[in-house]
Structures are given as structure tokens and as C-alpha cells.
Structure 1
Amino acid sequence: MTFQKFRFRFSHLSLCAAGLALVLAPALSPAQNTAPAAGMTPSAPAGITAVGELATVPAPSLTAKAWLTLDANSGQIIASQNPDESVEPASLTKLMSAYLVFEALESKRLTLDQPVTVSEKAWRTEGSRMFIKPGSQVTVDELLQGVIVQSGNDATVALAEAVAGSEDAFAALMNQEAAKQGLRDTHFVNSTGLPDPAHLTTVRDLAIMSKNLVTRFPQYLHYYSQKEYTYNKIKQNNRNRLLWTDPTVDGLKTGHTQSAGYCLVATALRDGRRVVSVIVGAASDSARSENSLKLLNWSFQNFDTIKLFDNDKPAVNARVWEGQSETVGLGTPTATWVTVPRGKGPQVKPVAQYTQPLIAPLKAGAKVGTVSLSLDGKLLRQDPLFVLNDVPEAGFFGRIYDKVRLLFQ
């Protein structure tokens, strides 16, 4: 991965100069100011652009109903086709089911060695199976391998019941989590992905869901790279062929029904950079694997993901009035990464827009504006700007002095 170091010099604009900024960036209210570094454009275009549109090497030609590739470090969509078309997720549904199980494990509502009694309903669930027996006790760890490695519908229902009491209640939790994650076009009816007219999603939502899973629960990713699992003396292979094809691939989930076609969410980690690809509606098992590998290779080979700033490296040092300090760093509490066509990192143009004047006291974590990142005149991403450090109020005379100075700005 290519790491570029950028030095940003954001100049403080006076209130008079803010008038010019408002002409250039009419979306700003009079209480905001634009602070670009030297040589940076004073405004960013509206609308986020998929970075793949700026690449000189076009996306590969794929045979699938819908597809998408996303950089998990930056969260940016690199390229897509039909990203918001309603599709059946089939067993890709189990990504959300596993997410809720992982969440239950982290909150100590479940433990990996906890035995779960298999219900008649779980045992009777049709489709792919782990071959658990009704009335038997199976640990959460074993059931997770049944869900993730073997794609067992019976194991999925057993875990759903362990988390929520019933599969219907679990489906309600799935929809609640989908809303929390901003999956606007996703609705779950069951935990397994068995066909239902109302059980729908999009490749955009699947990509977001998958990115959230791998970034929040890396401690459980080993299940997704497990190539086989034997239970009840029955060995089943992971259906993700890429685990054998490419050693950098470590997940994530296959899906298939007659109506959904062959689907695959794949992810690979190369030199610290993670990419997620989503393929839905391929014609065959081999087609979904080949298409996914093409997408992953294209995404890694033709794009860089670079870190611009974080809690220790502010996006802008802003002027503070009536405070014990004259400046404060504005930035993001976590690292801000941006994905760009290979070699284009130095051409990224950041523009900070923040409330002016900033008057103490200021609390760390207070949101005061946004920072936009653009390339070739196209907006790649926009993030909120937060105050990175507390700035206490100055003494009486210091405040009066700044009040007078503000009158002449």
C-alpha cells in the first residue's frame, strides 16, 4: 500500500474574505468560513463520485446482475453496476445473522462454549444443512462454523433462537440493525435467506454491511477463512472457492437460490488494505468466483488508499477567539483515509469549512464543520470536522481584548 504524507496549510480567512468564499461556495451559511490550503480550490463540487470513474483503467466486464467493489479502509465505493437494484440476498443474509451473534458474544449475552438446544423448527429448516439433531445440544462455536463454513440453515435458526428467542424476533433485530447501519433498501424476513418476496437488499447495502462486519469484528474473521468443517462425521467444504485460489482472500460468504442466482461477497487483505467485492446474480459457481477475483485484482492494482489525517494530525489549525489558546486543531477523531487512482494521492484537494468565529470555551469532540476531499474537480468524500482539544475560556481582559479585535476583522 502507498502511504503519502501531506502537509496542509489552511489559512484563516477574515470575515470580509468570507464574503468572497460565500460567492464561491453558496452552500455555506454566513456563519461558516472556508479555509483551503495554499493552491487548493475554495469549494468542492456537489455529489460524491465513485473513484473508479477517475481511473484510466476501466472496470472489468462482468457477467452478473449487479456488483460493487468497496475499499474497507476508506469506506469508498470504487465502482459498481446496478448498486441500488433490489436483489435477493440468498445466504448472504447470514452476514447479518452472524453480525448479531458476534454482537451478542461481545456483550456477553452468549459465550462460544455455551450449549444451545436444537429446536424442532431449526432441525426442519430446509436448504443447506449442518445436520444437527433436534433436542441435541450444540455449542455456539460449533453453530457458527455450521453457519459460516457450511452455510447451514438449521444452524442459523438455532443461533437466531438463542439470541432472540424465536426466528421472527431475530428477524426484527436484523431489520433494526439494518436501519442503524443506514441500509435503506434492505428488509429481512428470516435469518437464513430462504426466498420470500419481501426479503430483499441491494449490493450497496450488502457492501456496507460486510464492511461493518469486518471492521467491527476482526476477531471472528477466522471463521470466514476456514476451508472445511466436520460435524456429526459429515465434512463440508466452504463454498467460497477463492479461499483456495488466492491466499489474500479471507472471506466472506456465498449464496445461491434458483431465483437469486449465484452470489458472493468476497474480501481480501493485501499490504494492510482491505477490499470488499459483491457479486449477485451470476450464472454459475465458477462465474461468481471469477468475477469476484477480477474485481478484487482491479481494485488493488489500480487504486491506492492513503491516510490524510487523524486525531494527532489535524486537518486544519483554526483561529480561536476569547480562549486560553489562539488556535485549535480541527479534524477527525479516527483516521481519515481516501481511495484514489494509483499515483494520484498528491493531487487530493482538501477543503475545510467550519463555523466562524470560533469562540471559547470549546470542548474536544464538538462538531464545527466539514472537510471535503476532491480530485480532478470531483468530490470523493466529505467528513465532519471536530474540535480535537479543549480550549478553556480566557481571563476577563483576554476576552475583552479579543472582542475588540473582532470588531475590526
Structure 2
Amino acid sequence: MLGLCLLTMFCVVATAQAAPNPRYASIVVDVESGDILSAANADAARYPASLTKMMTLYLLFEALDEGRLSLDDELPVSAHAAAQPPSKLWVRKGGSIPVEDAILAMIVRSANDVAVVVGEALGGSEPAFAHQMTAKARELGMADTTFRNASGLPDAGQMTTARDIARLSVHLMQDFPQYYGYFARTQFVYKGKTIPGHNNLLDSYPGTDGLKTGYIDDSGFNVATSAVHDGRRLVSVVMGGFTARSRDSHMASLLDRGFVRASLLDRGDWIAKADLFEGRGAAAARASASPTKAVGTSLAVAQGATPVEASVRDGARQASAPVDDPIRRLIAQGDAAVSPAVAQGWAVQVGAFSNRNSARLRASQAADYLASDLGQATISVTEAQGEQAVYRARVVDLQEDQARHSCRQLATQGMECVVVAGVDP
């Protein structure tokens, strides 16, 4: 009987662990081109938590830009503002805070009390300011966002989407490049005390220079991040993380894959993301009839928009390629790791490309991901028959269970794949 109970409990726990995360959403955007490099639940309603403060900051930057405020102006602290729950700066009723300290308090400390101070200064009251926030969201194209307060504290009516937060992130950089540098701050000094920040990605992911983290119980752990590698800027949003650590790890993974995918799009090598096995020549026929970029949907705000101002890009902490860059290592392996033909048996195909070298790179990247399970995985690049050259990238010489398990493993890394049976070279 005890064994049955334990088994039942195990099954319940296992089922719960296997269930999808209902709060998760993400998006990765190339800022200059507007290309969506990856997206999951990007238009699903989510609680913004302290990502709300990005809009509070947008309206504050707008007031500064229009001369309605200066960085040295003092903002008064009301009883309502001082009473906000943590995170907070513990400003006191009847006191005041300089505008520049208010900016840093919202970005670095994510201070709820200071967000209300700013909202009341700009809107007269927090509810009135929330209406201004929502109106500005509509103006910026954030059609699925509604604000009810200035801080992001729990409110059932305060909703947004990952796509809308990405739009806001891009607008903050492009509309107010003179203030964007504040988002790179990891601490600041207030009244002689050093105030540490929450955004660990600024230190842990090379090239990151902003933007903002957020958390409430209903939202999970959120973050909007911008990073620059080799002059290319990506903005990514993750919502609904289980922990800050897992959220940051997932963000790093999304950015890694985003930079790789963006480079493939630049070269026009990424022909299709999914099933290319309708028969010989079918992939080539489809590729010749459609644009090369499979990820062709653009972020609305980036269409026709100018690139991020040079002052932002030049000020970014751009990351140089690490000595042990895995992509460079894969390229250096060259043709030596490529088998001349696909062996009989099962394989995992990870893409089809117009360029043989790109197909080899993709296959090698997949094999690198699978190295812990497969050891020295065999890769293959073969040319499909058709009017246009298409090169299939595959990991080969697998048993059926290996192929299916490997494809599931690759999917967790964000790499599209299809299991192929009885492959004939």
C-alpha cells in the first residue's frame, strides 16, 4: 500500500514537472533589420511586473527631452508613494528625490516607491499617469498593453506581451539614446550608500548593456535585454521564468542562438526551418518560390525605423569573440568531420541551406550539442536534386531511439530538426 502511495506521488510530481510553463513567453529581435529571430507566445497576455517601469522611464525621458524637467529637479514624495511595498528606496513622505536619482533607482533598484513619485510628478496622480502610460503604449504600437500603475506591482488589469515589451525596448534606445546609458548601471550611490542592482546579465553575458528585470508572483521572473556582438544589436524578452537564475540562463541561450541565426540570415543561407523531406527536389522548388529568409516577420516598430543612434552603439560594451568560440571551432573543423554520404539507418536533419559551408556549420553545431549523449557524432552534408542547389545538414548513423532522443534534445536548444528514417544517399 505504501509503495502504491509513493508511486502515485511520484507520478503526480513527474506530471507536474513535465507540464508546460503557462507564464512563459519570449522573443528575440535584430534591432537594425527588425527580423524576428525567435518567438514563443510572443503575443500572449502576460503580467509585466517591473518591466512596467520601462514605460515610466520612457515618459520621464520624454519630459526631460521636452524641457519640462531637468536631471537636477527635485520630485516630491507623497504618503502614497512612500507606502509602496519593496523593492523600494525607502524615500520618506514629505521629502524629495532628484530626477537623476529617480532614474537610477527605477533601473538599478527597481524601486516601487520612486516609480510612484515619478508617476505623480508627471501625471498628478498615479491613476492619471497610468492612463498616460497606456496612451503612450498605443502611440508606440503596443496594442496589447494596458497599464494600471507606475511600478508593476500586482494588478489584474495590467497586461502586456513579449512583443510589446520588445517594441518599448527598441523605442527607449532609438528615441532617447542620450539616456540609454543609464540601463547599463549595476549600482549607484544614494545619500552616501551604494545601492546594488538586480540585473546580473550585465555582468554575466558579454555585450549586454541593458535593459530591465521584473518579478511578481503572477508573472514569474521577467527580463528585457539588449546585447551587442560585432556591431549587431539584439533585443530579447523572456517572461515567466521559474527563478532569476534559470531566466538569465535561458536569456543567454536565446541570445547565443539569435546571433548565430542573424548571421545566417545575413548570408541568405537559412532556407527553411522545418520539414524539407517531401521528396527529392521539393525543398529546392519551395526555396526558389519563396524568399530566402524564413524568419521574415518584422517587428512593426522597426519597419522603416532608423538604426539605433551611433552614440548608443559606440557606448555599448561590445564583446569580442572569445578565444574558445565554439562557432569558430566548428568552422575550423572543416571538411574533415563530414562524411561523404549519409549512411543507411536513422538521421536527424537540422536544416537545408543554399551554401555547403553553412550546412556543415549547422550540422557541426548540432553534433556539438549532442556530444555528451553521442560522443563523436557523425555529420553529413548532401546536395538535394533540383534546379537550385540545396544542402541538407544531418547527424547520421543513428538508431531510431537515438535519433528521436537527439531531436528532442536539439529542440530544447531551439534548433529545429526532423527525424529521417531509411536515409538513402
TM-score scaled by length of structure 1: 0.61
Residue of structure 1 aligned with 2:165, choices 175, 194, 206: 206
2:217 paired with 1:293: no
> Is contact 1:175-1:188 (8 Å) kept?
yes
Aligned partner of 2:236 among 277, 281, 300: 277
Give 3-state SS (helix, strand or coil) of 1:224's partner: helix
Residue aligning to 1:400: none
Query: Of residues 233, 248, 253 in structure 1, which corresponds to 2:207?
Result: 248
Q: Structure 1 residue 296: deviation in Å?
A: 1.2
Partner of 1:18: none
Q: What is the rounded CA distance, in whole Å, between the counterparts of 1:232 and 1:266 in structure 2?
A: 29
Separation in structure 1 between the aligned mates of residue 211 and residue 113 of structure 2, nearest angstrom: 20
Q: Quick check: which one's strand share is greater?
A: 1
Work out whether 1:343 is the aligned partner of 2:267.
yes
1:302 aligned counterpart, secondary structure:
helix
Aligned to 2:63: 104
Deviation digits for residues 83-102 of structure 1 (CA, Å, limit 9, x no counterpart): 11111000000111100100
- Higher relative contact order at CA 8 Å, sep ≥6: structure 1 or structure 2? 1
- Aligned 8 A contact 1:97 1:160 in 2: yes
Distance change in 2, residues 1:195/1:341 (3 Å): same
Instruction: Answer whether contact 1:132 1:232 (CA < 8 A) is retained.
Output: no
- 2:278 is matched with none
Assess if the C-alpha contact under 8 Å between 1:227 and 1:237 holds in 2.
yes
Structure 1, residues 321-378: CA drift from partner, whole Å, max 9, x if none? xxxxxxxxxxxxxxxxxxx62521899xxxxxxxxxxxxxxxxxxxxxxxxx942688
Deviation at 1:277, TM superposition (A): 0.7
Q: How far is 1:302 from its partner?
A: 2.6
Structure richer in helix, relative to its length: 2
Residue aligning to 1:187: 146
Q: 2:226 aligns with which of 267, 273, 277?
A: 267
For residues 32 and 294 of structure 2, the distance between their equivalents in structure 1, rounded to whole angstroms, comes to 23
Deviations 1:56-104 (A, max 9, x none): xxxxxx9771111111112222111111111100000011110010011
Provide closer, same or farther for how the CA distance between residues 157 and 377 of structure 1 changes in structure 2, counting only shifts above 3 A: closer
Paired residue type of 2:265: P
Aligned-pair distance for 1:233? 4.4
Within 2, Cα distance between the matches of 1:71 and 1:346?
A: 15
Distance 2:231 2:121 in 1: 35
Matches within 5 A, 1:64-83: 65-83=24-42
Return 5+ residue gaps in structure 1 as ranges. 1-61, 305-339, 348-372, 385-409
How many residues are aligned here?
A: 263
1:297-312 equivalences in 2 (<5 Å): 297-304=256-263
2:136 to 143, 153, 177: 177
Percent identity, aligned pairs only? 35
Q: TM-score under structure 2 normalisation?
A: 0.58
Q: CA RMSD in A?
A: 2.3
Q: Deviations over 1:103-139 (max 9, x none)?
A: 1100001110111121111111112101211211211
**Distance apart, 1:209 and its partner CA:** 1.0
Confirm whether residue 130 of structure 1 aligns to residue 54 of structure 2: no
**Hey, what's the Cα distance between the residues in 1 that align with 2:81 and 2:259?**
41
**Is contact 1:75–1:211 with CA below 8 Å preserved after alignment?**
no
Q: Show CA shifts across 1:180-223 (max 9, x none).
A: 11111110000100111110011111111111111211211221
1:235 CA displacement = 2.9
